[in-house]
Amino acid sequence: MPASGLIPIYNTSQKLLKNNVALVGDAATQVKAVSFGGIIPGLLAAEALAKGIDKYEDNCSPVLKELKLNLLMRVIMDKLGVKDYNDIISIISEGKAKQVLEEEDRDFPSKFIFKLIKSEPRLWKYGLKVIW
C-alpha cells in the first residue's frame, strides 16, 4: 500500500551524529528547499559517511553548503510575486542566462549562481528583495 508524508526541507540546526548513530538523506533533512529533491544530497552524504563516521560531519560540509544556499534561494523565492516570476522566466529564457542554465549542473547552485547573475545583471534585483 502506498504511503506518503511531508518532505523535510533542510534544517540548519539538524544534528547529523549522536551516540555513534548517523542520519543521512531525508532523516537528516538533506533535501533541497528549492526543488524538494533529496536523492543527490542524500547520496553525497552517504558517500561522506562511508569515508568514516568520525569524519562524517566534516566530509558532509560541501553538501550542507549547497543545502544552505538552496535555503537562501527559497527565502528569496518566497518573497517574489507572480509578476516577478514572469519577469525572471522572460530574462532567463533568452541569451546568456539560458545558456548558463543549459550548461551548468543545477544540483550545485554555488557553481553556477554567480555565472547566471553575471550573464544577466537584471537578476540582481530579485535577490535584493530579501534585504528590502
What pLDDT, on a 0 to 100 scale, did the predictor assign at position 65?
A: 95
pLDDT band at 130 (very low <50, low <70, confident <90, very high): low
Residue-wise pLDDT tens digits, 95-115 = 899 999 899 888 898 888 889
Compute the CA torsion angle 78, 83, 84, 88 (nearest 10 deg). 130
What pLDDT, on a 0 to 100 scale, did the predictor assign at position 131?
A: 63
Report residue 90 as a C-alpha cell. Answer: 522572460
What pLDDT, on a 0 to 100 scale, did the predictor assign at position 132?
A: 59
The pTM (predicted TM-score) of the whole model is: 0.85
- The contacts found for 69-73 with CB under 8 angstroms, 24 or more apart, are 69/109, 69/110, 69/113, 70/10, 70/32, 70/33, 70/34, 70/35, 70/109, 71/9, 71/10, 71/12, 71/33, 72/130, 73/33, 73/34, 73/109
Report residue 40 as a C-alpha cell. Answer: 543527490
Average pLDDT over all residues of the chain: 90
Residue-wise pLDDT tens digits, 56-109 = 999 999 999 999 999 988 988 898 999 999 999 999 898 899 999 899 888 898
What pLDDT, on a 0 to 100 scale, did the predictor assign at position 48?
A: 97
pLDDT band at 3 (very low <50, low <70, confident <90, very high): confident
